[in-house]
Amino acid sequence: MKLSVVMIRTLLFFLILCSIIRSKAEDGYRLWLRYERITNVSLLKNYTRQLTSVHIGKLSPTIQVAVEELQLAIKSMLVKELALTAQVQSGTLLLGTPASTPVIQAMNISEKLRNTGPEGYLIMSTAWNGKKVIVITANTDKGVLYGVFHFIRLIQTQQDISDLNISSAPKIKLRLLNHWDNLDRTVERGYAGFSIWDWHKLPDFIDPRYKDYARANASIGINGTVLTNVNANAWVLTPHYLEKVAALANVFRPYGIRVYLTARFSAPTEIGGLPTADPLNPDVQQWWNKKVREIYNLIPDFGGFLVKANSEGQPGPQNFGRTHAEGANMLARALAPFNGVVMWRAFVYDDKIPDDRAKQAFNEFKPLDGAFLPNVLVQVKNGPIDFQPREPFHPLFGAMPATPLMMEFQITQEYTGFSTHLVYLANQFKECLSSDTYARGEGSTVARVIDGSLHNYPITGMAGVANIGTDRNWTGHHFGQANWYAFGRLAWNHELTAMSVAEEWIRMTFTNELHVVNTIKKLMDSSWETTVNYMTPLGLHHIMGWNHHYGPAPWIQDKHRADWTSVYYHRADEKGLGFDRTPSGSNAVSQYTQRVSEKFGSRLNCPEKFLLWFHHVGWTEQLSSGKTLWEELCLAYYRGAAEVKQMLETWSTLQGKIDDDRYEHVRTMLSIQHKEAIWWRNACVLYFQTFSKMEIPAHLEKPDKPLSYYMQLEFPYAPGIKPKW
Ligand code: GCW
């Protein structure tokens, strides 16, 4: 058979097309900044008509990257270049601050800009000399950049841009990622490969990832990053490493992102040659003053230090008989001349102290309220133990009116299935933020504590322990990206709902097709509750594998620290289950305000989601459903596992509706999650049965393996293990 020229051409065209499609494999690298081409013709026409050109005033590195991002987005979504214009035309997008852009100055919008502060922005449709234009303006270039990302998001999510009147400003000042990244590139509790900081090749080799990291963070309003692990290594403070840190800071600066470092408290002895690190010793203070000057010489906008002291073996002021405040203030004094801050972690507990671990941070810090210098924030985890699948809010929130408390959430899924479980954490973040502390009467939510409005804190902050690594899709699981995204969006505005944030993310990350958006949204919405059910229902906590925290291990006991065992937390015995934290037990409830303490402390009024956190409940006691604790416990575990199966089924309806690459990846992860949910269910139910001595309700399928099978499983190489120094 002879092929005609036309046929050969057609074939060639087809082959080229296939290779183009293939090369655009969706590997997740582009995160939510995919800027997919708009295929809906009328929508495309509509946008194209409204956007003709861009006008800017004085160029700065930040305005430069803002324009670059805008061009990239418009070119790829609307297949159109926005010409830079000196003349305002119909459809011109005006970008800049009044100070840098005379046309914007002439618009007289200073009144409107008053409420947007140093980072907020306005996006407005308006007329200029009879021409319809869109203005993105702010008091600073950084605000303009945030406005540009918001504007791009409007197009990505296919919103109407014909009559814009948006004003937005962050509710929280410091919106930071905390990387638990080590200098050897391992990541403590990291499940997405190695650290993206290539310390060895820095400062000369600038991995393009650094810029993409900055773009992604700026797009969601994150304005700082702590590069190193809180289990700190003093080496990062040596000149050799500081030069590398400075190179990263240079990449991040135009994007409004400052770098911060963790300060190892014993650094003066480890790298400074001093005989002590006592914070009240003048030589020690001098050493830090000098070190901080050295840092600011290299990095003029350095943010400050994050410190984990006297916790889990980290050195701190208590090694020298000093308080946390004395330690924090010593560093604060060194940083104050440069406007740097100290973020001092409240995550402290000691196995030598014979008190409930849940109470220890409060016991240590509450008496220090007001003792910290003004540039110190105390960084408090969302709950009193440690990022468990679900915890009640930390009792310190609301209890330190004279000390700025900042929030620490965990984005990396140390306790929620690593990077193989789909768990949308915005629901968890929101539950904590909307909890009422009653510190100043009703409505004193955790959100109002940390945004400073309750106690008039002069500085405010929210940190998220990052889930980012060298995996091509950054977070291991494609849906891990949603947790990074949601963290940033909620740090900017904690009033956003978990589902509105999810919807934005889905539209930008997968598709705007409504049915798909809604299907994925539903999946995300229930995913956290599902995980709580198959891991730690009814307020159970810390019953996972020892040290690596992988999988169920409620049987862990007899370790060198009782507070690192599971039996310490669940207290199962033949009578019942749960940690009595009422006045008849550890009385941790007394650390909350009276209203909260009465609620949590009452067996009947305590929300059942926290029941076993606060109460030791008899196996045959009835819960609100009328069923016994034992039955409800079994039902929760079985429900959790069954819901994962349902998630898998729901996901499979999306085959062909989203790209095959990500469809298949997520499907595989969901099947791992299902397998592991059953593992959790079986192991926990069988273990607790040895105490309850009751049958698993008859209609539930019985575990196919004995408890002994689950108990002998070992995982010496599970990812993310804490390194031994
Ligand atoms: O959750 C625990 C982790 C540790 C971590 C510690 C902390 C960085 O298991 O790996 O150490 O919390 O927050 O300091």
Q: Which of 212, 243, 301, 312 is catalytic?
A: 312
pLDDT tier at 416, thresholds 50, 70, 90 = very high
pLDDT at 511 over 70: yes
Local structure of 174: helix, strand or coil: strand
* pLDDT for res 10: 61
pLDDT at 29 over 70: yes
Q: Amino acid identity of 479?
A: F
Kindly report whether the global pTM for this prediction surpasses the value 0.95.
yes
The neighbour count for residue 278, using CB atoms within 10 Å, is 21
Please write the tens of the pLDDT for every residue from 211-267: 999 999 999 999 999 999 999 999 999 999 999 999 999 999 999 999 999 999 999
22-51 b/e (C-beta count within 10 Å ≥ 16 → b): eeeebebebbbbbbbebeeeeebeebeebb
- Collect all residues with Cβ–Cβ distance below 8 Å to 17 and sequence separation of at least 6: none
The answer to whether the beta carbons of residues 241 and 183 sit under 8 Å apart is: yes
Measured in Å, residue 226 CA sits from the centre of ligand 1 at: 15
d(CA 35, CA 385): 41
What is the average pLDDT score of the chain? 96
d(CA 412, CA 418): 7
Nearest CA owner, ligand 1 atom 13: 347
pLDDT at 3 over 60: no
Nearest CA owner, ligand 1 atom 4: 722
Q: Considering only 495-509, 672-686, 710-724, which range has the smallest mean pLDDT?
A: 710-724
CA Rg value for the chain: 27
The answer to whether the beta carbons of residues 398 and 444 sit under 8 Å apart is: yes
Measured in Å, residue 201 CA sits from the centre of ligand 1 at: 28
Query: Ligand 1: which of 179, 182, 188, 548 to mutate, judged by most atoms within 8 Å of the beta carbon?
Result: 188
The atom of ligand 1 lying closest to the CA of 230 is: 8
pLDDT tier at 140, thresholds 50, 70, 90 = very high
Evaluate the omega torsion of the peptide bond into residue 203 and state whether it is cis, within 30 degrees of 0: yes
Please write the tens of the pLDDT for every residue from 657-676: 999 999 999 999 999 999 99
The neighbour count for residue 672, using CB atoms within 10 Å, is 15
Please write the tens of the pLDDT for every residue from 378-411: 999 999 999 999 999 999 999 999 999 999 999 9
Query: Ligand 1: which of 181, 189, 262 to mutate, judged by most atoms within 8 Å of the beta carbon?
Result: 189
Tell me, letter by letter, the H, E, C secondary structure of 6-62: HHHHHHHHHHHHHHHHHHCCCCCCCCCCCCCCCCCHHHHHHHHHHCCEEEECCCCHH
Please write the tens of the pLDDT for every residue from 348-362: 998 888 999 999 999
Tokens of 378: 């105390």
Helix (H) or strand (E) holding 239: helix 239-252
- In the numeric block, the tokens 């194209």 are attached to 48
Q: Which of 69, 278, 414, 471 is catalytic?
A: 414
The atom of ligand 1 lying closest to the CA of 312 is: 14
Q: Is 652 exposed, middle or buried (0-12, 13-18, 19+ CB in 10 A)?
A: exposed
Nearest CA owner, ligand 1 atom 11: 231
Measured in Å, residue 45 CA sits from the centre of ligand 1 at: 52
pLDDT at 20 over 50: no
Handedness of CA 613, 617, 623, 628 (dihedral sign): positive
* pLDDT for res 344: 99
The atom of ligand 1 lying closest to the CA of 549 is: 9
Tokens of 278: 């006592």
Measured in Å, residue 410 CA sits from the centre of ligand 1 at: 10
Measured in Å, residue 693 CA sits from the centre of ligand 1 at: 35
Q: Is 432 exposed, middle or buried (0-12, 13-18, 19+ CB in 10 A)?
A: buried
Share of the chain above pLDDT 90, in %: 95
Measured in Å, residue 518 CA sits from the centre of ligand 1 at: 35
d(CA 362, CA 379): 12
Looking only at the bridges linking them, the beta strands covering 376-381 and 405-410 are parallel
Query: Ligand 1: which of 178, 307, 312 to mutate, judged by most atoms within 8 Å of the beta carbon?
Result: 312
* pLDDT for res 510: 98
Please write the tens of the pLDDT for every residue from 442-498: 999 999 999 999 999 999 999 999 999 999 999 999 999 999 999 999 999 999 999
d(CA 172, CA 608): 32
pLDDT tier at 6, thresholds 50, 70, 90 = low
Q: Which of 69, 386, 471, 631 is catalytic?
A: 386
pLDDT tier at 25, thresholds 50, 70, 90 = confident
The atom of ligand 1 lying closest to the CA of 314 is: 14
pLDDT at 18 over 90: no
* Domains of the chain: residue spans and CATH: 24-168 (3.30.379.10), 174-509 (3.20.20.80), 533-579+616-711 (3.90.1330.10)
Higher local confidence (pLDDT), 22 or 461: 461
Please write the tens of the pLDDT for every residue from 36-45: 999 999 999 9
Query: Ligand 1: which of 179, 181, 231 to mutate, judged by most atoms within 8 Å of the beta carbon?
Result: 231
Nearest CA owner, ligand 1 atom 2: 386
Nearest CA owner, ligand 1 atom 12: 386
pLDDT tier at 725, thresholds 50, 70, 90 = very low
386 is catalytic: yes
Averaged pLDDT, 292-314 = 98
Q: Amino acid identity of 398?
A: G
The atom of ligand 1 lying closest to the CA of 231 is: 8
The answer to whether the beta carbons of residues 87 and 102 sit under 8 Å apart is: no
* pLDDT for res 724: 60
Higher local confidence (pLDDT), 239 or 723: 239
* pLDDT for res 1: 46
d(CA 513, CA 657): 9
First-to-last C-alpha distance (Å) of the chain: 72
The atom of ligand 1 lying closest to the CA of 311 is: 14
* pLDDT for res 15: 52
| Among 541, 479, 531, residue whose Cα is nearest residue 641 | 531
Please list every protein residue whose CB sits less than 6 Å from any atom of ligand 1.
180, 188-189, 230-231, 308, 312, 347, 386-387, 414, 722
Tokens of 326: 């004395």
Local structure of 225: helix, strand or coil: strand
Please write the tens of the pLDDT for every residue from 88-118: 999 999 999 999 999 999 999 999 999 999 9
Measured in Å, residue 724 CA sits from the centre of ligand 1 at: 13
The atom of ligand 1 lying closest to the CA of 229 is: 8
Measured in Å, residue 227 CA sits from the centre of ligand 1 at: 16
pLDDT at 23 over 60: no
d(CA 536, CA 552): 9
The answer to whether the beta carbons of residues 158 and 165 sit under 8 Å apart is: no
The answer to whether the beta carbons of residues 90 and 132 sit under 8 Å apart is: yes
* pLDDT for res 7: 64
Measured in Å, residue 534 CA sits from the centre of ligand 1 at: 23
d(CA 30, CA 182): 25
Local structure of 167: helix, strand or coil: strand
